Amino acid sequence: MNADERRFEVLRAIVADYVSNQEPVGSKALVERHNLGVSSATVRNDMAALEEEGFITQPHTSAGRVPTDKGYRLFVDRLSDVKPLSSAERRAIRSFLDGAYDLDDVLRRSVRLLAQLTRQVAVIQYPTLSRSTVRHLEVLAITPARLMLVLITDTGRVDQRSVDLGDVITEENVARMRTLLNQAMVGKRLADASAEVAELPDHAPAELRDAVTRVSTVLIESLVEHPEERLVLGGTANLTRNVADFPGSLRQVLEALEEQVVVLKLLAAARDPGTVLVHIGEENEAAEMRSTSVVSIGYGSRDKLLGGMGVVGPTRMDYPGTMAAVLAVAGYVGEILTSS
């Protein structure tokens, strides 16, 4: 082992101890807890070199050392692979998520599970509607003059709307309208489907024109984006477990999470369902988030990205465990939503 490799082993030991104990780490503790194969004097020299290079710092005089953002970055970059979760953990994730009954439930379960696994704040972005296509539109007669529309997208989103027709409609005409609407919409991106639906009244049979006009108006509202539904958060209270990790900035972090726009920008970088991204401290563009680390990933399939998901927590984070959890949950969510 050359000097650089040995110093990285010292850094890795410091990261492990500090993440676990939240206490600055001294050379004596490193020698006692880790089989580094060198003397205390060598460890002290390596720590001095790491500090000079900016990978660790001494928060107080005569205290041990703690990793800096630069130190965490080197540690994360040197992780050769994301260690997979155990088979028992994977079975538990699959069992928990397989019980979901619709898209909303899948996302709620996902953030709850990810927050529990990582003990951090979990966030997941709703599948962006502009990337979704219409799978099916069901048209059901609630009364002779009132219909229920159930729009289902390829991402599993289910949107229900009711329409008052102002006049009675026969079952035969309900069936004709269902066929007409599905022919115009199925397989099309939502924006394209909206344009098709807007033109339907002009081409509908005279006896259906008024009903089709009312239905089209309601459908177009269902086919546009709902910004207020873009993000689901879970485990926000986890941030308050260790207030010391956010000196003077916890309130700012919580406010940024509430605003959601900041988090959506962070998730926007996650474009690949197979690649976990880690933004550490000062690497975060938003000033409010510079005391945090964000571990994120895209979810969906290789050829269809549905959205982003991830975890927000302090820089003093179990990066290998968090990255493994984010990768595993994203994989199952993508599988559920692209195969359903």
Question: Taking a C-beta distance cutoff of 8 angstroms, is the pair 157, 150 a contact?
Answer: no
71, pLDDT greater than 80: yes
**Do the first three CATH levels of 3-68 and 133-226 match, i.e. the same topology?**
no
44, pLDDT greater than 60: yes
**Identity at 325, one-letter amino acid code:** A
Helix, coil or strand: residue 34:
coil
CA distances from 25 to 14, 31, 118, 227, 245 (A): 6, 11, 23, 45, 16
Instruction: Give the pLDDT of residue 301.
Output: 81
What is the percentage of the chain residues whose pLDDT exceeds 90? 49
Task: Write the pLDDT tens digit of every residue in 192-229.
Answer: 888 899 999 988 899 999 999 999 999 888 777 555 45
CA distances from 126 to 104, 237, 308 (A): 9, 22, 8
DSSP symbol at 117: H
8, pLDDT greater than 90: yes
CA distances from 214 to 150, 218, 238 (A): 15, 7, 47
Question: Taking a C-beta distance cutoff of 8 angstroms, is the pair 326, 311 a contact?
Answer: yes
Between residues 225 and 254, which one has the greater pLDDT? 254
Between residues 72 and 246, which one has the greater pLDDT? 72
Task: Write the pLDDT tens digit of every residue in 105-161.
Answer: 889 999 999 999 999 999 998 887 667 789 999 999 999 999 999 988 887 777 888
**Identity at 223, one-letter amino acid code:** L
Does the domain at 133-226 match CATH 3.30.390? Answer given as: yes
Question: Taking a C-beta distance cutoff of 8 angstroms, is the pair 68, 54 a contact?
Answer: yes
**Checking phi first, is residue 164 left (phi over 0); if not, alpha (psi -120 to 50) or beta?**
beta
How much of the chain is in helix, strand and coil states, percent to nearest 5?
55, 20, 25
Instruction: Give the pLDDT of residue 191.
Output: 82
Instruction: Give the pLDDT of residue 311.
Output: 95
Tokens of 149: 């529309």
Helix, coil or strand: residue 102:
coil
> Given pLDDT bands bounded at 50, 70 and 90, which one contains residue 263?
confident
57, pLDDT greater than 90: yes
Instruction: Give the pLDDT of residue 225.
Output: 59
Instruction: Give the pLDDT of residue 122.
Output: 95
CA distances from 17 to 26, 69, 267 (A): 10, 16, 29
Parse the chain into domains and list their residue ranges.
3-68, 87-126+230-339, 133-226
Q: How far apart are CA 299 and CA 310, in angstroms?
A: 10
Instruction: Give the pLDDT of residue 293.
Output: 94
Map 193-262 to HEC letters.
Answer: HHHHHHHHHHHCCHHHHHHHHHHHHHHHHHHCCCHHHCEEEECHHHHHHHHHHCCCCHHHHHHHHHHCHH
Instruction: Output the CATH code of domain 87-126+230-339.
Output: 3.30.450.40
Instruction: Give the pLDDT of residue 307.
Output: 87
**How high does pLDDT run on average in the chain?**
88
Task: Write the pLDDT tens digit of every residue in 240-250.
Answer: 888 888 877 88
> Given pLDDT bands bounded at 50, 70 and 90, which one contains residue 81?
confident
The number of residues in the chain equals 340
Q: How far apart are CA 255 and CA 249, in angstroms?
A: 10
Helix, coil or strand: residue 319:
helix
> Given pLDDT bands bounded at 50, 70 and 90, which one contains residue 340?
low
> Given pLDDT bands bounded at 50, 70 and 90, which one contains residue 309?
very high
Q: What's this model's pTM, rounded to 2 decimal places?
A: 0.77
Instruction: Give the pLDDT of residue 328.
Output: 92
Does the domain at 3-68 match CATH 2.60.120.10? Answer given as: no
Question: Taking a C-beta distance cutoff of 8 angstroms, is the pair 30, 45 a contact?
Answer: no
